[in-house]
């Protein structure tokens, strides 16, 4: 995500609890990188949330993402906040309340369902 | 009263026990299998197993009735916040109380509209402050939503307020003296009440005015 957005021309700062994540960005990473928890305001401000145009929240915890996303939207007024939520029900609940949620589970379900529905059915032997 | 409790740790389990003893109807939600087994042994069908941040689990616990009270007391602050939001905003639960494990997260609860919170660390610190008053003023109660605090100040012989009438003190806006405790008795403060060394003065003050109130009564911090 960070590498993709940087390639699209965005000025990107990545935030992670572990420094190991920096390694995953590769030796050519020219963007920012800050180590810390996504609910630590000091860290977020160091990462530049105060003048960010967009934020992507995709830690491995749905509820952590939902809380960070709302804080970024409400406290810092970031226009575009996208939040990863694996649980479809919670993703829908918060989407109905104005948060942009992306649910990979729902996407996978749609793709898998389309694949199954595309099956050519053999004429049944009645 | 019907109460849904999310999180069966020490807090959740003990509150469940007390509420049941008081005759209330309770559903307790616990995710961890080992804990669930132990709780089920004690409370029986009152306990259900599942992730209380999942809407289907909350519905199984009867969130749609809705309960008069929802307690989100897991060990995870983000979980507690999400549980409270789902209950209040999704199901019209009138009262949700959330546990704040890390006091640094308090501001997030406030921001996201979960105003009734309980934080053990903050409570303990309040007690410590009461035992070891810093700058002679003790915060007895904090009313978050109202932006007010109830404080207690002990007047010393060198305090600027000692010997002054209450009406003659130039107290900051947003503050009011309530009572004086002296010689084992409490008197309500009237404009003519004279502050004496040893008096314990109870006051209500806005957050912003608290330092100024302290200065008027006790002088600048040493």
Query: Where in chain B is CATH 3.40.50.720?
Result: 2-122
Question: If pLDDT is split at 50, 70 and 90, which confidence band does B221 have?
Answer: low
Residues 6+ apart with CB under 8 A from A30: A6
A59 vs A55: CA distance, rounded Å: 12
The minimum CA-CA distance between B119 and chain A, rounded to whole Å, is 17
The minimum CA-CA distance between A3 and chain B, rounded to whole Å, is 28
B6 vs B72: CA distance, rounded Å: 5
Q: Superfamily for B2-122?
A: NAD(P)-binding Rossmann-like Domain (3.40.50.720)
B179 vs B173: CA distance, rounded Å: 18
Instruction: Encode pLDDT of B132-175 as tens digits.
Output: 666 678 888 888 778 899 999 989 888 899 999 999 999 999 99
Residues in A touching B53 (Cβ below 8 Å): 62-63, 90
Burial class (CB in 10 A: 0-12, 13-18, 19+), B3: buried
Residues in B touching A70 (Cβ below 8 Å): 111-112
Q: Which of A63, A75, A87 sits opposite B78 (nearest CB)?
A: A63
Could you read off the pLDDT tens digit of each residue along chain A, which spans 126 residues? 999 999 999 999 999 999 998 899 999 999 999 999 999 999 999 999 999 999 999 999 999 999 999 999 999 999 999 999 999 999 999 999 999 999 999 999 999 999 999 988 887 765
Contact A89 B107 (CB under 8 A): no
Average pLDDT over residues B16-28: 97
pLDDT of residue B222: 57
B124 vs B117: CA distance, rounded Å: 15
Residue-range domains of chain A with CATH: 2-114 (3.40.50.720)
Residues in B touching A87 (Cβ below 8 Å): 54
Q: Superfamily for B133-218?
A: Regulator of K+ conductance, C-terminal domain (3.30.70.1450)
Q: Which of A70, A75, A89 sits opposite B55 (nearest CB)?
A: A89
Q: What's B170-205 look like in SS3?
A: CCCCCEEEEEEEECCEEEECCCCCECCCCCEEEEEE
The minimum CA-CA distance between A59 and chain B, rounded to whole Å, is 13
């Amino acid at each position: 995500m960070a590498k993709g957005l940087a390639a699209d021309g965005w000025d990107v700062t990545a935030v992670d609890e572990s420094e190991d994540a920096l390694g995953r960005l590769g030796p050519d990473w020219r963007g920012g990188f800050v180590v810390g928890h996504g609910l630590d305001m000091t860290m977020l401000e160091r990462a530049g949330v105060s003048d960010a145009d967009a934020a992507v929240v995709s830690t491995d915890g749905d509820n952590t993402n939902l809380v960070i996303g709302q804080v970024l939207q409400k406290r810092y007024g970031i226009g575009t906040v996208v939040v990863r939520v694996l649980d479809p029900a919670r993703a829908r609940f918060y989407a109905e309340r104005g948060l942009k949620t992306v649910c990979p589970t729902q996407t996978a379900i749609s793709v898998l369902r389309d694949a199954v529905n595309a099956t050519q059915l053999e004429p049944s032997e009645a | 009263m019907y109460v849904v409790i999310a999180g069966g740790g020490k807090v959740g389990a003990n509150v469940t026990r007390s509420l049941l003893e008081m005759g209330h109807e309770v559903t307790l939600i616990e995710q961890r299998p080992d804990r669930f087994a132990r709780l089920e042994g004690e409370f029986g069908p009152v306990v259900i197993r599942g992730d209380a941040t999942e809407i289907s689990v909350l519905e199984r616990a009867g969130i749609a009735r809705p309960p008069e009270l929802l307690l989100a007391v897991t060990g995870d602050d983000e979980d507690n916040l999400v549980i409270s939001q789902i209950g209040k905003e999704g199901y019209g639960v009138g009262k949700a109380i959330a546990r704040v494990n890390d006091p640094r997260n308090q501001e997030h609860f406030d921001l996201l509209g979960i105003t009734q919170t309980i934080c053990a660390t903050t409570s303990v610190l309040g007690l410590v402050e009461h035992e070891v008053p810093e700058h002679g003023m003790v915060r007895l109660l904090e009313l978050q939503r109202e932006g007010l605090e109830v404080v207690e100040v002990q007047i010393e012989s060198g305090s600027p307020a000692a010997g002054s009438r209450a009406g003659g003190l130039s107290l900051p806006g947003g503050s009011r003296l309530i009572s004086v405790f002296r010689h084992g008795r409490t008197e309500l403060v009237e404009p003519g009440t004279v502050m004496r060394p040893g008096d314990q003065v109870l006051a209500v003050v806005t957050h912003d005015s608290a330092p100024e109130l302290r200065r008027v009564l006790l002088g600048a911090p040493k």
